[in-house]
Every structure is written in structure tokens, then in C-alpha cells.
Amino acid sequence: MPNLSTMDDFVAVLPKVELHVHLVGSASPETVLELAARHPDAGVPTQPQALREFYTFRDFDHFLQVYWAVQSLIRTAEDIRVLVVGLARDLAAQCVRYAEVTVTPYNHLLDGLPGDALLTGLSEGRAQARAEFGVQLAWCFDIPGEKGTAAGRETLVFALRNRPDGLVSFGLGGPEVGVGRAQFAPAFTAAREAGLRSVPHAGETSGPATVWSAIHDLGAERVGHGTSSTADPRLLDYLREHQIVLEVCPTSNVRTRQVDSIDAHPVRRMLDHGVIVTLNTDDPPMFGATLNGEYLAVGRTLGLTPAELAQLARASVTASFMLEGDKTAVLAEIDQLASAA
Ligand code: ADE
Ligand code: ZN
């Protein structure tokens, strides 16, 4: 039995799942530096210190500019495989058993990565993640909202035509201001009719009206971030009553300057209101985040006990799109650890 005397020890061995992490945003600094040296035209630093500075974001739009520059470095199936396997390695080291990983096919195609190469890299990486690290990966294909309804249609067609193993959900990312959710309703309706689950970003960089729209227009079952939901008590009631899950990414929100600090994050009010909260990293190395770090930061800020941290881990498993049998297995692992703590 591991020594569980501190919160760090407990979180380190707590079996977890990650429901909101972007593939490009999970690239390790080593991988980014190597790709940047190969493609100096992209404007991404090739030295560690300069990359750390590059990852200091003035605001959310600046973050997206940086994210897109890194995304443009990815040109081959092998690049994708390396990203997927690197993510699985990082997840396994944190006792993460399963992750839903967001991929943005439309942007990769625009950057010159052929669709077949994207699919090959995902499939090979996923198989290796399972075989080498025991981590199960699922995919969310998301629309880059800033590219408009054409991107919505093309993301839908790419998802449904290819339907890779592990594809479970359909998302919407990028900026929210000036990018109404409702315009993507036809793509989400078709995706949901085809069996994909709806997980758009909303309420990360705009107010609660965006979260309402994600629910009513896009049929959101889980909302990416949903930070601004706490500004509308009726919305919190609705989220609780309909068990719509928030994919909360506290460090991301601090690093993109949407909230001042972890202490100031509305996660406490979400939990106090009975809303289902899951903890996630979004774009971990870009934000200097880890999933263990998110549990520790929230655990310390809210003064959570090991039992309450285990309950957060269970909430993510329950809200995931894993097969029921796989959920039961991870829940049993959590129960076993929690009863020993
Ligand atoms: N793409 C990558 N990270 C994102 C975020 N935090 N919000 C919206 N789109 C994103
Ligand atoms: Zn995100």
C-alpha cells in the first residue's frame, strides 16, 4: 500500500480520467522544440527559455495565436503519432487511465496535413498508448469556431466519413466572442443523430448566454469550461437539474487571464450549487498544468479531504464516454484507494 499521508501522495496514485485536453496543446516542450527546429518558418522558438516566454499569454486571443503557431508545425502522420504517444506517457505517469482528446481536423488539413495522415497518426498512436502505457484514448473532433459554418460542415463530414475507432464526441473550440454557438446547430444536430456526443466549449471567454446557447442550440451534454455559468443562478439550477457537466480547467483560465487566480476561480460556487464538476488541463504544457496539479490546486484551495478528491475523480469517470464496463473498473479502483486512505 502506498504512503497516502499527504494530499500529493494521494492524488499521485488516485486513478483518474481526463475529459478535456487538446492534442496540439498537449505537445511536450521537447517535441515542440524539435518540430520548431524543423520548421523555422512557423515562428515558434527553438530554445527552451524562449519557448517558456512564448507560452506567457497576454490574453485569450494571444493564447490562440500561439496555439495556432504550434499547430502549424504538425505536418505528418508521424508528428501526430509522436504527440499521441507523448500524451499517453504523461497521462500514465499521473495514474490517468482514460482520456478524451480533442483534435481539430479542419485546421490540420488547412496547415497541409493530409486527412489520411491525420487518421493514421491517431490510430497508430492510440494503439501504442494502449499497448505501451495501458492508457485508453478516445477522440473528440471539434470545429474551429473562428472559421465559421464551412468549418462546421467539413468537420462533420470528416468525422462521419472516416469515423475512426475511439471517436466519441463532437466539439466547438476557438474564440467565443463574435462566434455565436447557434450557427453550428446543423452540424451538431447531424453529429448527434450519428451518435456522437455534444461537448462544445462555452462560457470560457464569454458570458452565461453562450452556455445557454450551447445547451439549447447544440444539445451540450458537457460544456467545455462553463466558467461564466456562476453569473446566472438559473443556469446553475438548470445544469444541476439536467446533470449537464462542466469540464473545468482552472489553471488554463488563470493562464489565459480569464480569472485572476485559482482562489478566485468559481469552481467552489459550482460545487456548492450541486453542479457536476470535472477537473481537466486543456493544454497542459502550454499552461504549465498537469492533471495531478489541478486536483492539488483545487483540493488545497477548497480544503478537500481525500474522500472529496476521490469523489471528483469519480465524477469524471461517470461523465466520461467510456464503456460502462470500463467505468465500473476505474470506479472500483478509486473505491479501493479511497477506502485505504
Ligand atoms: N483550443 C485549444 N485550447 C482551447 C481553449 N482553451 N479554448 C478554446 N479553444 C481551444
Ligand atoms: Zn479547451
Residue range 137-184, pLDDT digits in tens: 999 999 999 999 999 999 999 999 999 999 999 999 999 999 999 999
The CA-CA-CA angle for residues 216, 321, 10, to 5°, reads 115
Measured from the CB, is residue 247 less than 6 Å from ligand 1?
Answer: no
Q: Say yes or no to pLDDT of 3 above 70.
A: no
CA of 204 to the centre of ligand 1 (A): 9
Residue 333 Cα to ligand 1 midpoint, Å, equals: 31
**Helix, coil or strand: residue 55:** coil
Torsion, Cα of 73, 140, 250, 275 (10° steps): 170
- 15 CB within 6 A, ligand 1: no
User: Ligand 2 is a single-atom ion; what residues have CB below 5 A from it?
Assistant: 282
242 part of a folded domain: yes
Q: What is the 3-state secondary structure (H, E, C) of 97-123?
A: EEEEEEECHHHHHHCCCCHHHHHHHHH
Q: Is 284 in the pocket of ligand 1 (CB under 6 A)?
A: no
Residue 65: CATH number of its domain: 3.20.20.140
Residue 48 within any structural domain of the chain: yes
Burial 251-280, CB ≥16 within 10 A → b, else e: bbbbbbebbeebeebbbeebbebebbbbbb
Average pLDDT rounded to a whole number, residues 272-298: 98
**In the prediction, which pLDDT does 50 show?**
98
The pLDDT assigned to 341 comes to 81
Q: Report the domain count for the chain.
A: 1
Element (H, E) at 224: strand 222-225
Catalytic residues: 204
Count of residues in the chain: 341
Indicate whether 202 belongs to any domain.
yes
pLDDT band at 14 (very low <50, low <70, confident <90, very high): very high
Ligand 2 center–CA 93 separation, angstroms: 22
pLDDT of residue 2: 55
Q: Which atom of ligand 1 is nearest to the CA of 24?
A: 2
Please tell me what DSSP assigns to residue 161.
H
252 lines ligand 1 (CB under 6 A): yes
Q: Tell me the residue type at 243.
A: Q
The model's pLDDT over 191-212, given as tens digits with 9 standing for 90+, comes to 999 999 999 999 999 999 999 9
131 CA from centroid of ligand 2 (Å): 27
What single DSSP character describes residue 282?
A: B
- Beta bridge partner(s), residue 137: 99
CA distance 187 to 192: 9
Atom of ligand 1 nearest to the CA of 145: 9
pLDDT in tens, 92-143: 999 999 999 999 999 999 999 999 999 999 999 999 999 999 999 999 999 9
Judge if the beta carbon of residue 144 lies within 6 A of ligand 1. no
Q: Show the domain range for 235.
A: 7-340
Q: Check pocket membership of 105 for ligand 1, CB cut-off 6 A.
A: no
Whether residue 285 lies inside any domain: the answer is yes
Per the listing, cell 456548492 goes with 272
Alpha carbon nearest to ligand 1 atom 2, residue = 22
Domain membership flag for residue 17: yes
Domain presence at residue 64: yes
H helices present in 46-202, as ranges: 48-54, 60-71, 77-92, 105-110, 115-133, 148-162, 185-193
